[in-house]
């Protein structure tokens, strides 16, 4: 996955600002462009109310709003990001289960491990329906 430095910085800043709760957002790429290139990260409010320290939820109305706006600009949603406060920067079993319940094959997932609210480490993953699991994805910063 390729992503501009400014967008990586934005994702990490959002993850740090959300600490100790999970922060989340949407990854946008150019429609018809390379499938593994993110051009923009869009912050979204974590709508999880019961356990926001260990879960996130993106409201359907937020996704629809972003999808419509980005489509008008010639872009599309190519993935999602979220943080793991004081946990490793890799998908959890909950992340895997939720991805397996939807149409997630080939979708990019960036997970940012946040250490004590001070440091954010992003990693990239792609979900595969065939194996019902995440595969590590190269994280190329432009």
Q: Which of 7, 10, 22, 70 is catalytic?
A: 22
DSSP annotation string for 37-87: B--EEEEE-----S-TTT-----HHHHHHHHHHHHHTTEEEEEEEEEEETS
Name the token pair of 2: 């390729």
Which residues face 11 on adjacent strands?
Answer: none
Q: Could you identify the residue written with the tokens 């990260």?
A: 41
- Annotation marks residue 10 as catalytic: no
User: What positions carry a catalytic annotation?
Assistant: 22
């Amino acid at each position: 996955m390729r992503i501009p430095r400014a967008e990586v910085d934005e994702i990490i800043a959002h993850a740090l600002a959300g600490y100790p709760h999970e922060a989340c957002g949407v990854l946008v790429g150019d429609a018809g462009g390379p499938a593994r290139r993110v051009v923009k990260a869009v912050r979204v409010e974590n709508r999880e109310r019961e356990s926001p320290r260990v879960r996130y939820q993106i409201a359907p109305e937020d996704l629809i709003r972003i999808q419509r706006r980005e489509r008008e600009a010639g872009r599309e949603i190519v993935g999602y990001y979220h943080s793991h406060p004081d946990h490793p920067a890799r998908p959890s079993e909950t992340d895997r289960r939720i991805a397996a319940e939807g149409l997630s094959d080939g979708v990019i997932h960036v997970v940012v491990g946040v250490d004590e609210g001070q440091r954010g480490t992003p990693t990239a993953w792609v979900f595969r329906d065939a194996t019902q699991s995440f595969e590590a994805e190269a994280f190329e910063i432009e």
